Amino acid sequence: MYIFTMSPEDQQAAFLKRIAPKHGITQILDILPDVSVFMKDRRGRFMFLNLRGCEYCGVRRMIEAIGKSDRDFFPKAKADRYVADDRRVMGDGVPVLNRVEPEPGRTGSPRLVVTSKMPLRDAAGRVIGLIGLSREVTGTASTPPGVGPVARAVEFFYARLGERISVRQVARHVGLSVNQLERLFRRTVGQPPRRCLLSIRIEQASRLLGESCASMAEVAQACGFYDQAHFSRAFSAEIGCSPLAYRRRYQAM
């Protein structure tokens, strides 16, 4: 008598096929505290969002986000970073693991998330999209090493955004040397602290241009640029258009 048994892989596949699409795994993802889970197709369109992911995108139900991209929900500078990041993950097939970045849905917030993204493949091994999760930095034991000083540095950036800020000041504030801070930011954030600060300045400037009547000079001063000319050059290099063109485009939407 022969007894045929399924391999562990086949057992798992058979079990997962039996789960109804709207139950089981997707439901449990909705109750994860402070965790956004998302899936996108190869074109960067959302195919799945859990409850926290919906909150970040500003929608009540996942179906409202399906088929849409980051550019439908986030400021251009932030959306462009997400899109470029996703293309690298899907193009190279190399995951992003435990990278620190500003919280997606709260422009102007010093809160951070730890984000990981991995390519999704079909049965033939072709990349068809990606899956990712972003977990809020809470200072718990589960937070990756080094995130605490980065979080304090980002809080410092936001608290003094209208001021001239040196890397030496920030390093002193978080209790590290300049070299230690530089290495820590490159490892956890993927960019040096000065570049991170510029991204925050540009993001805040984008918000003020779209949501306020502040003059260009006032926006430049509020976001810590040396003068209006410096602001215009930095903004144009980052966003691809002048601050005035950005405001006109935003107000025309």
User: Both 118 and 162 in a single domain?
Assistant: no
Q: Packing angle between helix 76-92 and helix 228-239, nearest 10 degrees? A: 30
Query: Residues 128, 39: one domain?
Result: yes
Q: Is residue 164 part of a domain?
A: yes
pTM: predicted TM-score of the whole model, two decimal places: 0.71
Position 199 scores a pLDDT of: 87
pLDDT average, residue stretch 52-64:
91
The verdict on residue 165 lying in a domain is yes
Tell me whether residue 244 is in a domain: yes
For the ranges 10-19, 128-137, 148-157, 216-225, the lowest mean pLDDT is seen at 10-19
Residue 187 lies in a domain: yes
Q: How confident is the model at residue 176 (pLDDT cuts 50, 70, 90)?
A: very high
- pLDDT at residue 1, rounded to an integer: 44
pLDDT at 146 > cutoff 90: no
Residue 63: predicted pLDDT: 92
pLDDT of residue 36: 93
Mean per-residue pLDDT, 5-33: 77
Residue 2 lies in a domain: no
Q: What's the pLDDT score for residue 2?
A: 46
Same domain as 248, residue 165: yes
Domain boundary among 136, 163, 195: 136
Structure tokens at 245: 């063109």
CATH number at residue 208: 1.10.10.60
Dist. CA 248–CA 145, nearest whole Å: 43
Query: 103-141 pLDDT, tens per residue?
Result: 776 555 667 888 999 999 998 999 999 999 998 876 544
Whether residues 123 and 180 share a domain: the answer is no
d(CA 221, CA 6): 67
H-state helical runs in the chain = 8-17, 25-30, 51-57, 76-92, 147-159, 167-174, 178-188, 193-211, 216-222, 228-239, 243-252
pLDDT at 201 over 70: yes
Q: Is residue 64 classed as helix, strand or coil in its secondary structure?
A: helix
Indicate if 127 and 166 belong to the same structural domain. no
Task: Please state the rounded mean pLDDT for residues 199-228.
Answer: 91
CB atoms within 10 A of CB 153: 25
Same domain assignment for residues 210 and 241 = yes
> Which tokens is 167 given?
């890397």
Residues 173 and 248 in one domain: yes
Amino acid at 98: N
Q: For residue 207, what are its two tokens?
A: 């918000």
pLDDT digits (tens, 9 = 90+) for 65-92: 999 999 999 877 788 888 988 999 999 8
Q: Is residue 25 part of a domain?
A: no
Its domain, for residue 205, covers 147-252
Q: For residues 28 and 36, which has the higher predicted lDDT (pLDDT)?
A: 36
pLDDT, the chain, mean: 86
pLDDT of residue 34: 84
Who has greater pLDDT, 91 or 99?
Answer: 91
Percent of the chain's residues with pLDDT above 70? 91
